[in-house]
Amino acid sequence: MKIIDIQTFGVNMGDGNHVFVKVLTDEHLHGVGEAYRVGPDHAIGPIIDYYKEWLIGQDPTRIEHLWQLMYNGSRFPGGSMINAAISGIETALWDVKGKAHGVPVYQLLGGRCRDRVRVYLGIHGDTPREVADDAKRAVQQFGMTAVKMQPQPPQMELLSWNEVLKQTRERMEAVRRAVGDDIEIALDPHAAMFEPFRALELSEVVRPFRPLFFEEPLRPENIAAMGELRQKIRIPIATGEMLYTKFEFRDLIAAGAADILQPDLLLCGGLMEGKKIAAMGEANYLTVAPHSPLGPISTAVGVQFAASTPNFLILEYRIDSEGGNRDLINQPLKLADGYVEIPEVPGMGIELNEKAFKNNPLRTWRRRPVIEPDGNVGFQ
């Protein structure tokens, strides 16, 4: 079997940009994957096209070989866009290989070590009541056993630090009261704090409410600072969504900077690289909760990973049965009682709805800049 083409689809159905990858073979098999939208999103497609010239004519089942060809063939070790492109191609290759062997991808990764995959849903709201109501909706409508929220109030850069801490407590207290003690609440400050002491103070405010984890309390550039914070903080730190390959996670683990690893399988180098990162974590008594905010293809990859990874903890999830995400695929994976069922069909278990992509191209997007009261552009 040989690769005859690699197609890229830049799509936005109203729920954010997606860069999908489709690998076609001379035996009428194809595989689908996705590259993370690290931004600038329009740049990912040309990188994939560049790699396509290297891969045409290659055997798509030699996934490790092709990964090394792409990663080591680049002039320098890749950054976020290079590794996103590699991840998109790699995940599509696994879909091809599963279909070629007539088995779900997890069977090629050692088989199932669990029967279903626990997921959590992001909740939102500007006020404590709004975020609490969204938490109740996640539990009552979708059966979630865990949710994730931003603990600090929106536009905290415009507030005094004491007010930020006060409103953080109010938000956390409202959500805990709304869902009770049995629902787990993960927290994501979105790497919005520059000073470690502020992250520590914020963690102390939320600690009485027993968060599942505290995600990216600091930005990822200074892993040593995160390691020092972890020695002082009294709630679990989760991090890793902005890191890629086993090499960066090696540094994270060596610094003692995380309790829970969060590789994004569409960015870190792909499914096999995620398995290697998980194995490193397992040897250091760390669990893995993949970053997965994009929707159905990311979910499908995460489910195959989770099914075959013993130290998997929980998977980030976006609802695929409604909104723009529903139009991206032919049929979503089944969600029941806060768990995604593991598909038994060959490959990743999901197919793109390419007919819906027409007239829905990528949109130019950037994160809202944080402008502090004195005009300085702050961290986020």
The set of catalytic residues is 190, 291
Torsion of CA 123, 127, 129, 131, to 10 degrees: 0
> In terms of C-beta density within 10 A (0-12 exposed, 13-18 middle, 19 or more buried), how is residue 282 classed?
middle
Query: Comparing C-alpha atoms, which of 162, 164, 175 is closest to residue 208?
Result: 175
- Are 25 and 1 in contact by the 8 Å Cβ rule? The answer is yes
Cα gap 342→200, rounded to integer Å = 38
- Are 136 and 178 in contact by the 8 Å Cβ rule? The answer is yes
- Are 188 and 262 in contact by the 8 Å Cβ rule? The answer is no
Task: With H, G, I as helix, E, B as strand and everything else as coil, classify residue 273.
Answer: helix
Cα gap 280→276, rounded to integer Å = 6
Q: Which helix (H) or strand (E) holds 99?
A: helix 80-101
- Are 223 and 217 in contact by the 8 Å Cβ rule? The answer is no
Residue 3 sits at φ, ψ, to 5 deg, of: -75, 130
Going 110 to 107 to 93 to 245, the CA torsion angle's sign is negative
Q: Residue 140 corresponds to which tokens in the numbers above? A: 């009552």
Locate the DSSP E strands across the chain. 3-12, 17-25, 30-35, 116-122, 146-149, 184-187, 214-215, 237-239, 260-261, 287-288, 315-317, 335-336, 339-341
| Angle ∠(39,44,47) on CA atoms, nearest 5 | 140
Q: Residue 116 corresponds to which tokens in the numbers above? A: 């279903």
